[in-house]
Structure 1
Amino acid sequence: MLVEKNTSLQDLNTFGIAASADVLVRLRSSQAVQDFAASSLLRSPQGALRPTLVLGGGSNLVLSGDVVHAIVLKMEIPGIALVGETPTQRIVQAGAGVRWHDLVAWTLAQGWGGLENLALIPGTVGAAPVQNIGAYGVELQDRFHSLDAVDLHTGQAFTLDAAQCAFGYRDSVFKHTAAQPGDFGLAGRAVITQVRLALPKAWRPELGYLELQRRVEASGNPAPDARQIFEWVCAIRRAKLPDPAVLGNAGSFFKNPAVTEDQCRDIIAREPKIVHYPMPDGSVKLAAGWLIDACGWKGKSLGRAGVYEQQALVLVNRGTRSSSVTGGEVMTLAAAIQTSVYERFGIRLEPEPVVV
């Protein structure tokens, strides 16, 4: 456990927002998390728990103020290993501090498919269950086995399976607080230390998304292997999403909204070209990027916050390192976009990043 005071967070959030942390604690093992939970750092002189902010890759985060007064927990737990097998699955474990894309690449290097559709998603392994990350027809919950975490209130380590994580669309138990006794909300309380994924031995490609179908048709290869899908996904993402090292951003800024079939038919009657995807539960998912583009926001800016020219779903930092975008500018732009989409389509867009 390494404690730092008055530490800049500009290089620790992919938006590049210039903010600092009163206290930042680097955690490099599960035991270090338990030690932190038992330390005086976590408690005020009156014994109350101080607020914490768990920071992985900083890729799903908007820092709205100049200073973060919560204790920032920088997760740096390393390690990837095969920890078990069943007749149908391989169980792979990774530390919370491992870069997600590094894990995907490692599994493919072993010859194991299953995570290729999730290539190049920014962030760390520990953050993946919180957001239930997903892309190109696959979500984390589809490959999830279990995770280990530490309860900051008690210092005890515990394990959760998929059902206990209560996964939803970009959602999990880690994004909700316990409103009353008996509720199982873990936001601000649990810190994920290890994640285990179940990779299918009987692998099959997931090619349902339009961009992947187009790659299949263009390649003339109707049966791509996992490595080929990985390369296609990387190429697609690089073509439409900016590299945070070059242009600060937090990836997709808004969730794709879901509507009923009747609502979708009504919108299609007015907007025949709207991009939409029928879902197994009977709802229809609309492409938030298309909605934003239709409102004329692509390439526009408010102050130093802008909408990426190649993908309207991504908000970017148009400032410089010495004059960076502020969290306030980002949220002002986001609110303006939400208003435009609601006024035209009657749909409320919900941001994906955590706003602190």
Structure 2
Amino acid sequence: MAQSLQPFHTFSLPSKCRQFVQLTDKVQLHDLDFSEPFCLLGEGSNTVFLSDYQGTVIHIATQGVQVTERRDDYLLHVAAGENWHQLVAFTIEQDMAGLENLALIPGTVGAAPVQNIGAYGVELEKFIAYVEYFDIATGQFIRLNRQQCQFAYRDSIFKHALKNKAVITEVGLTIAKNWQAELSYGPLLQLVAPSAKQVFEHIIAIRNSKLPDPYKLANAGSFFKNPIISNQQLQSLLKDFANLPHYYVDECHHKIAAGWLIEQAGLKGYRIAGIEVHQQQALVLVNHGESCGNDLVAMVKYVQQHIWQKYQIALQHEVRLMATSDECHITVQGQV
């Protein structure tokens, strides 16, 4: 029976799927038919369905957190369906400091390694002990260590070699006891010798002030990736845009702020149907309703085109866009 997907993704475009399965126990995976198109879905905060999906949506809703205290750290074994922010809040309550910079990132624990989520100078990969997944071809549960996950900026093996071949079931996180606050990102520099809870609360306040609540105004959070560019390109850009925010990646590359690029291009408040570049945070696209997938695609192309013309930067969307039977990637002609 067709299932409406509008309540299951926070961008809330009208769409349906042919079949909907709620996964509450990983053993259910043995009974599913993966020969037809399928889409794995957590809380739908980083996925947008552009049209009706002609396949099965597998909603990951497994629960459970196990904590093992060791001499130098804590090992957390977490079910994929757990809410990420609630996990961070739990660790802070239990005096396990380390994840506080990743507070209020929407989504599930199982989705977090796929994207290698990060914020305010911290990325998830730092804490990964292992990721367990169900291998669709063999029906086995397999664990990968941090190195095997091939993490990069908003990237992992689950977007490449294991795409459509794996279902993440559990994540192991290591939280060291020798905690030190990570305060290198601008809004955190004002904090003086803060506790982990103070950093946690400060980041929640920052995110709430900058990002619209998806349950009040439909959105999928940060829509575009912050581009990583060569030092040579950065120096060229700084000649024309001296205030361009940039952050060190390695000795050859810097990351620049996509939201700043979009705002400086004058796109805040630009609207196609009910899709708008958010008035307060240009990195976010919002859905006021009365919109369809084609409106969103048009908006993404419009933003990409303007950024390419103004800065010669190919902006990539961070959000996963699902078409009729598979994920799709939007690029503008002429970009490389």
Which TM-score band applies after superposition, normalised by the shorter structure? over 0.9
Corresponding residue for 1:340? 306
Matches within 5 A, 1:211-230: 211-214=187-190, 216=191, 222-230=192-200
Write out aligned runs for 1:29-48 (5 A).
29-36=25-32, 41-42=33-34
1:180 counterpart residue number: none
**2:17 aligned partner:** 21
Number of the residue aligned with 1:45: none
Q: What's the offset of the Cα at 1:282?
A: 3.2
Corresponding residue number in structure 2 for 1:352:
318
Give 1:57's aligned residue: 43
Structure 2 stretches lacking a partner, 5+ long: 323-336
1:188 aligns with 2:164: yes
Alignment of 1:326 onto 2:292: yes
Matched position secondary structure for 1:274: coil
Instruction: Give the aligned residue type for 1:34.
Output: H
Instruction: Give the 5 Å matches for 1:125-136.
Output: 125-136=109-120
In 1, the alpha carbon distance for the partners of 2:31 and 2:176 equals: 36
C-alpha displacement of 1:341: 0.5
Measure, in 1, the Cα distance between the counterparts of 2:175 and 2:12: 34
Is the 1:146–1:160 Cα contact (8 Å) retained in structure 2?
yes
Could you say what the CA RMSD is over the residues aligned between the two structures, in angstroms?
1.1
Within-5 A mapping of 1:1-356: 5-36=1-32, 41-42=33-34, 49-65=35-51, 67-82=52-67, 84-176=68-160, 185-214=161-190, 216=191, 222-319=192-289, 323=290, 325-356=291-322
Cα deviation for residue 13 of structure 1 reads 0.1
Question: Where has structure 1 moved over 6 Å in runs of 4 or more?
Answer: none
Quick one: distance in 1 between partners of 2:251 and 2:28? 42
Q: 2:13 aligns to what SS in structure 1?
A: coil
- How much does 1:50 deviate? 1.2
Q: How far off is 1:94 after superposition?
A: 1.2
Q: Give the drift of 1:80.
A: 1.2
Post-superposition Cα deviations, 1:172-200, rounded to whole Å, max 9, x if no partner, equal 11111xxxxxxxx1101100011111001
More moved, 114-123 vs 154-163? 154-163
Q: d(CA) in 2 for partners of 1:62 and 1:31? A: 27
Q: Secondary structure at the match of 2:87?
A: helix
**Deviations 1:8-47, CA, capped at 9 Å, x for gaps:** 11110000111111001111112112332xxxx43xxxxx
Q: Do the aligned residues in 2 keep the contact of 1:51 with 1:188 (CA within 8 Å)?
A: no
Q: Deviations over 1:249-276 (max 9, x none)?
A: 1110110001111111110100111111
TM-score, normalization by structure 1: 0.89
Q: Quote the offset at 1:281 in angstroms.
A: 4.1
Q: Percent identity?
A: 42
Q: Which runs of 5+ in 1 are unaligned?
A: 43-48, 177-184, 217-221
Q: Structure 2 CA distance, aligned partners of 1:86 and 1:151?
A: 30
Question: What residue identity is the alignment partner of 1:207?
Answer: L
SS in 2 for 1:125: coil
Aligned partners of 1:34 and 1:156 also within 8 Å: no
Q: Distance in 2 between matches of 1:34 and 1:161?
A: 23
